[in-house]
Amino acid sequence: MSELTPKTRWTGHLALDGMSVLHSEPTELRRRVGMVFQRPNPFPKSIFENVAYGLRVGGMRDERRITECVEQSLLKAALWGEVKDKLKEPATALSGGQQQRLCIARALAVQPEVLLLDEPCSALDPISTAQIEETILQLKEECTMVMVTHSMQQAARISDYTGFFLMGRLVEFAPTVTLFETPQNPATSDYITGRLG
């Protein structure tokens, strides 16, 4: 997303299969890495075309195959049952939780290896949050997911590994159970017990 932003500055190193993401071809990187933002951001298109968008941009032209991929992606995002009879309707007419699951379906349609989720439940009610979490749990076997959350309870419920960041720096990374039950860093312990934050 940053290649079009003038004066963008990067520090550090981030690699996918040993290849720097900063020096990757953007279209290929977008196919391999999906992104779901904090607030739902459906395109001003139909429900169907939101999910089909990445497939079409990636060169898929077989309409039957696109239709199959859209259905499969909506099923994986636990949204198919709610929208199967209104695929031509505007995506913006969906509820917030449905829009977020639509964004997950859109990201999944291109079969990414990695799915980045930036606080995907922060703008949602508890029922929608539970639906998103269930979707994430079901997708664990399909792709690697990296999720940012400020909710310790959510991290404990759905993550296999947890990293605790403070002031932009990684303080501690461990299996979730280990990090929550026996943190090694005092700052991590202070955050978990409520003495920090």
Q: Give 103-114 pLDDT, tens digit per residue.
A: 999 999 999 999
The rounded distance, in Å, linking the Cα atoms of 145 and 54 is: 19
20-24, 67-71, 152-156, range with the lowest pLDDT: 20-24
Residue 3 has pLDDT above 80, yes or no: no
Could you tell me where the beta strands, DSSP code E, fall in the chain? 15-16, 19-20, 33-36, 114-118, 144-148, 161-166, 169-175
Is pLDDT above 90 for 19? Answer: no
* Residue 24, pLDDT score: 76
What does pTM read for this prediction?
0.86
Q: What is the mean pLDDT of the chain?
A: 91
Distance (Å, rounded) from C-alpha 169 to C-alpha 187?
12
- Would you state the pLDDT for residue 22? 78
Residue 142: count of CB within 10 angstroms of its CB: 13
End-to-end Cα spacing for the chain:
30
- Dihedral pair phi/psi, residue 150, rounded to 5°: -100, 0
Give residue-wise pLDDT tens across range 24-71: 777 778 788 999 999 999 999 999 999 999 999 989 999 999 999 999
Q: What is the pLDDT of residues 179-194, one digit of tens each?
A: 999 999 999 999 999 8
Please state the rounded mean pLDDT for residues 142-157.
92
Q: Could you give the residue range(s) of every CATH 3.40.50.300 domain in the chain?
A: 25-159
- CATH topology assigned to domain 25-159: Rossmann fold (3.40.50)
- What pLDDT is stored for residue 2 in this prediction? 64
